[in-house]
Amino acid sequence: MSASKFRTGLILSAVAVSALTISACSGRGNRPRLAYEERPVEALYNTGYQRLESRRWNDAIDYFQEVERQHPYSEWSRRAILMQIYAYYQSNDYAEAIAAADRFIALFPGNPSAPYAFYMKALCNFEQITDVGRDQGYAQAALDGLRDVARRYPGTPYAIDATVKIDMVNDQLAGKEMSIGRYYQRAGQPLAAINRYKAVIDNEAYQRTSHTPEALYRLVEVYLGLGLKEEATRNGAVLGHNYPGSPWYAEAYALLTEEGSRPDVEPSGQRESWLRRIIPG
């Protein structure tokens, strides 16, 4: 099962549980609120759920908010908040989804559905992660939220999916460090570039990402440019020991050989084309 399908199933399962329980019991932005009409709470909730099934997210939110407004201390209100989280998420109104999740957590911190609220809050931040060229505030918020889910609810489907996404976010944040490092390297600021590349190598969470081999290779490049062959050779040796089949090691091996510092370990992978040696951008 793909990560996307797993995530969708995870979200829908919580919605389905609420619906089944109800059956057993019997960001609005500037849009106008539903005209107040006192109706049985079951009717309001079920109408909202019908709108949800029809993918009419905004209409569903209206009815669930009306449930919460007219019956604020009822079991129906609790379920209505959960449904609002889902509907806001589906309509890409992540700020309102997070606000609804925070409201649920504040009101019902020990409820069995609290893991869902924590997970959806983290997921909303995860969905807003942008490319590495932009601010990574959402990535950091997603990482904090996902770690919280994994810590609070180990062994649950939410924690399992959060663990997978934590690795994805770490890869994103490591990519941001690499992007800044390459910028400094292009700008002729080698010491600043070294600090960024070392941040990828020294951070235990980043060490498992796809960016580590390139970070080691870039250090070889920068140190050779500074005339620090010993440092370049040391990083090349680490790269060869851990990633002998990486194209980045093949590149580092070639550079060090040209400088008379041939590493002991020969690369088992192939070098990329000369275009790949150009620093991106």
Q: What pLDDT sits at residue 55?
A: 93
3-116 and 175-277 agree in CATH topology: yes
What mean pLDDT is reported for the chain?
Answer: 85
Rounded to whole angstroms, the Cα distance separating 230 from 89 reads 53
Where are the chain's structural domains? 3-116, 175-277
pLDDT for residue 117 is more than 60 = yes
Q: What pLDDT sits at residue 72?
A: 86
Q: What pLDDT sits at residue 39?
A: 72
Contacts of 36-45 spanning 24+ positions with Cβ under 8 A: 38/70, 41/67, 41/70, 41/71, 41/74, 41/76, 42/76, 44/70, 44/76, 45/76, 45/79, 45/80
**Do 117 and 82 contact (CB within 8 A), yes or no?**
yes
CA atoms within 13 A on the CB side of 217: 24
In tens, the pLDDT along 6-52 reads 455 555 555 544 444 443 333 444 555 555 566 788 999 999 999 99
Dihedral over Cα of 106, 123, 112, 150: its sign? negative
**Do 251 and 239 contact (CB within 8 A), yes or no?**
no
**Do 145 and 122 contact (CB within 8 A), yes or no?**
yes
Q: What pLDDT sits at residue 27?
A: 44
DSSP secondary structure letter of residue 128: T
Q: What pLDDT sits at residue 266?
A: 81
Q: Summarize the confidence of residues 109-133 as an average pLDDT.
A: 91
Q: Percent of the chain beyond pLDDT 90?
A: 70
In tens, the pLDDT along 209-267 reads 999 999 999 999 999 999 999 999 999 999 999 999 999 999 999 999 998 888 887 87
**Do 88 and 60 contact (CB within 8 A), yes or no?**
no
**Do 249 and 213 contact (CB within 8 A), yes or no?**
yes
Helices (H), the chain: 3-25, 41-53, 57-70, 75-90, 94-107, 114-127, 137-152, 157-186, 190-202, 204-207, 212-225, 229-242, 247-258
Q: Domain 3-116: give its CATH architecture.
A: Alpha Horseshoe (1.25)
pLDDT for residue 173 is more than 50 = yes
User: Is domain 175-277 annotated with CATH 1.25.40.10?
Assistant: yes
Residue 60: which of 25, 21, 102, 18 has the closest Cα?
A: 18
